[in-house]
A and B are shown apart, each in its own frame.
Chain A
Amino acid sequence: MRFAMAIDLDRCIGCRTCAVICKDFNAQPQGIWWNRVFTSGTPEYDVAVKVDDQLRMEFVPISCQHCTNAPCQTVCPTQATYTDPDTGTVLVDYDRCIGCRMCASACPYGVRQFNWGAPAKMAGLGGTELEYGYPEPYHDGEHLVYAPHRPEGVMEKCTFCAQYTSQGKEPVCCRSCPGNARIFGDMDDPSSPIRAYLKDKEPFFLGEEYHTEPNIYYLAAHKVTQVNQVPASADGKEA
């Protein structure tokens, strides 16, 4: 079995529901984001860029790419980062991580998140603290790969929602996406939804120059949903 995800950029509307629900269901402490969505071409969110006198806005969600040749796993000195042999998912065992941050330093995608201090809970109204996320720790065999209350000073990242996929459910970002832009499944199973979706399509991968063999398949945006001709006098930003 090899878990993978397809992300169809034609379907992504940039609502960031995936990022927020990922944070919520995975009890990510304040300041930690496993999943992020930005507009290609600008460091700001929701800003268009000018291409061939047209304004274009293309959202690209990025989280852990669950690489087959994961540099984070290679450099981890204690084998805290490992690939689950049953699913091909790259996971972090919080109980083995020494917090050296070498994995984050070696990751081309900037998706690893470190707990620099005691993980802070989300602040609610009136000085309250919010409890949220899957309520129980989840162990993959002997490895602690999810805990609602994070240990201090360890690395964390997307697990493909290991606590849910182990129950046969899809990751929450897939379940919550209003545009159905994320398709999850087993790439080794010819009848899986992801295999069916990718059939006859040409996906691309992020950071191919790093030879990480990601398991997140991106499908380029082709549809023109709105034509926005830029007036010749406008000082648009070139892509």
Chain B
Amino acid sequence: MEKSTRFIGYAGCALLVLGLIGWALQLTGGLLAGSGMTNIFLWGLMIAMFAFMVGFGAGAQIVASAIFLTGREELMGLARTASAIGLACVGAAGIAILADLGAIRNILFMLTGLNFNSPLAWDMMAMTAFVILSVVQLVMIARNSSQVKIWATLAGACAVVLQIIEGLLFSLQSVHAWWATPIMPIDFLAVAVVSGSALVLFIACMKGTDSTGLAWLARLCAIAVAVHLVLALADLGLVALEGSPVSDGVLAAIGGQLPLYVAELILPAAGMIILFATMRSPKGTPKMIASALIVVGILAHRLMLLYPAYNAPSLYLTLSGTDSVTGPYPISTGRYLDWDTTFALGTNYMPAPVEWLAALLPIGVAIVGTFVILWAMKKISSTATR
């Protein structure tokens, strides 16, 4: 094993342990009490991390499926790694959801009392289907089976469905103007391709993949970023043109997090420009920098999924006998004991230290999971060739 690969493995183990400590602190210290969330800002860093990881998982699988289907020999080794990353990241996203639950002791009702109308139920079913198809595909790859293309296609299609469902999880909540657009599920898909291709490109550069393969991945990633940015700006345009009190609230919430919003647009845009400019260059360093910029931009995008949604009030009242919309209505924060604030229109969410610590868990699971899956594939492969 290369030195750098070994380092990533050790780092993954360290993140996993730190994340487990964070989660344990949240559970033993009064569930989510050590968080910055409120009854207004209901989902925080862990849900952003969930959306981040599931995007990487589905995206890596979509890239792997595309490589298998187009038969790009120079990238076949990477496709194998990408498939393993896909499974590990989706598993990590599942862990993120579990770690964010307030009453995990009741989790069995997700099996015995599932509400099929709930987008969370669709999500669980899509993730389970993805995991099953992904495992079969990985076994087929390890055995060098002739059916790899079939299973890669099925796993890729499931990854697409998974991302659309993730988008629906948010966009079906009509109460949040920031989410309730038909663009959201399509953008989730675009972001998955952005995330997956940026990650695979980064690994390809590390491994010294030949320039044809790098150019193909760079083009895929740059085009996906372009599509995502168009969709993100269209989303902003829709809100800006609506002119309702609710949409004005969303714009104000975006303004309140302007550095983060600028980062979500500028960083992927810069990465895209670098990729288009250096596409045919055999040098890997600019592409690695571009990939890193894009990944950080996508993390900012996932965080900005939450701020304009939760800090924009949804309920505006009208004075009796007038058409005047008089303003939003305060909500009980549920955090009086911590902050002495009983009612508020919005809360300035900042993840607490224990939340940052717990958020390392899914990253650790994804890294360690990838190593374990690749090791298992090697074992299956060597058994099959005996």
The answer to whether B102 and A31 have CB atoms under 8 Å apart is no
CB distance A77 to B118 under 8 Å?
yes
Q: Is the CB of A43 within 8 A of B345?
A: yes
Query: Does B335 belong to the interface (CB within 8 Å)?
Result: yes
Binds A, one of B109-117, B129-137, B377-385: B109-117
Q: Name the residue in B43, B114, B331, B333 with the highest tally of chain A Cβ atoms < 10 Å from its Cβ.
A: B331
On whether the beta carbons of B117 and A154 are closer than 8 Å, the reply is no
Binary flags per residue of B94-129, CB closer than 8 Å to A gives 1, else 0: 000100111110110110011101111100100000
> For the complex, would chain A's binding face be called helix, strand, loop or mixed by DSSP majority?
loop
Q: Which positions 276-333 of chain B face chain A at CB distance < 8 Å?
A: 314-315, 317-322, 324, 326-333
Among the interface residues B43, B109, B343, which one has the most CB atoms of the partner chain A within 10 A? B109
A138 CB, nearest partner CB in chain B, Å: 19
**Interface 1/0s, chain A 107-142, versus B by CB < 8 A?**
111101111111010000000000000000000000
A20 at interface by CB-CB < 8 Å: no
Say whether A195 faces chain B, with CB atoms less than 8 Å apart.
Answer: no
Interface size on B, residues (CB 8 A): 60
CB closest residue in chain B, given A19: B332
> Is residue B241 within 8 Å, beta carbon to beta carbon, of the partner chain?
no
Number of residues from A at the complex interface, CB < 8 A:
59
Q: Are A41 and B175 in contact (CB under 8 A)?
A: no
Alpha-carbon gap, A56 to B343, bound state (A): 22
Task: Name the segment of A91-99, A158-166, A170-178 touching the other chain.
Answer: A91-99
Q: Which residues of chain A come closer than 8 Å to B39, judged between CB atoms?
A: 104, 110, 112-114
Cα A94 to Cα B38 in complex, Å, equals: 19
The answer for the CA separation of A56 and B39 in the assembled complex, in Å, is: 30
Q: How far is the CB of A156 from chain B (nearest CB, A)?
A: 10
Of B16-24, B26-34, B150-158, B257-265, the one touching chain A? B26-34
- For residue B104, which residues in chain A have a CB less than 8 angstroms away from its CB? 98-99
CB-CB under 8 A for A105 and B326, given A31-B337, A78-B115: no
Instruction: Please tell me which one of the listed residues B175, B320, B331, B333 contacts residue A221 in the complex, with CB atoms under 8 A apart.
Output: B320
Among A60, A75, A112, A222: residue with most chain B CB under 10 A? A75
Asked if B40 is an interface residue, CB under 8 A from chain A, the answer is: yes
Contact with B along A23-34 (1 / 0, CB 8 A): 000000011110
B209: Cβ under 8 A from any A Cβ: no
B147 in the interface (beta carbon within 8 A) = no
Within the assembled complex, what's the spacing in Å between the Cα atoms of A152 and B334? 13
Q: A71-B175, A154-B102 are in contact. Are A60 and B321 (CB under 8 A)?
A: no
Chain A residue with Cβ nearest B38? A116
A39 to B35, CA, bound (A): 31
Tell me the complex Cα distance, A210–B180, Å. 12
Chain B CB within 10 Å — which of A33, A62, A153, A154 has the most? A153
B102 near A41: Cβ-Cβ < 8 Å: no
State the Cβ distance, B216 to closest chain A Cβ, in Å. 39
- Is the Cβ of B332 less than 8 Å from the Cβ of A152? no
When C-beta atoms are compared, the residue in chain A nearest to B111 turns out to be: A78
Is B174 an interface residue when CB atoms closer than 8 A count as contact? yes
Interface residues of B in 321-380 (CB under 8 A from A): 321-322, 324, 326-337, 342-343, 345
Please state if A78 and B31 are interface contacts (CB–CB under 8 Å).
Answer: no
Contact A117 B33 (CB under 8 A): yes
Report the separation of the CA atoms of residues A221 and B141 in the bound assembly, to the nearest whole angstrom: 71
Q: Is B326 a contact partner of A110 (Cβ separation < 8 A)?
A: no
Contact A9 B320 (CB under 8 A): yes
- In whole Å, how far is A114's beta carbon from the nearest beta carbon of chain B? 6
- The 9 nearest A-B residue pairs measured at CB: A99-B102, A153-B102, A117-B33, A117-B30, A41-B326, A31-B336, A220-B320, A110-B331, A78-B109
Given A42-B326, A110-B314, A116-B334, 9 other A-B contacts at CB below 8 A? A32-B332, A38-B343, A40-B317, A41-B324, A71-B175, A78-B106, A98-B103, A102-B120, A104-B42
Q: Which residues in B have some Cβ–Cβ distance to A below 8 Å?
A: 29-33, 35, 37-40, 42-43, 97, 100-104, 106-107, 109-110, 113-115, 117-121, 124, 172-176, 314-315, 317-322, 324, 326-337, 342-343, 345
What are 27 A-to-B residue pairs whose CB atoms are below 8 Å?
A: A9-B320, A30-B337, A32-B332, A38-B330, A40-B317, A40-B318, A40-B319, A41-B326, A56-B319, A71-B175, A79-B115, A96-B106, A97-B106, A99-B101, A100-B101, A102-B120, A105-B173, A113-B334, A115-B102, A115-B334, A116-B33, A153-B31, A153-B32, A206-B317, A220-B321, A221-B320, A239-B326
A-side residues, CB < 8 A to B, are: 9, 30-33, 36, 38, 40-43, 49, 51, 56, 58, 60, 62, 71, 74-80, 95-102, 104-110, 112-118, 120, 151-154, 206-207, 210, 220-222, 239
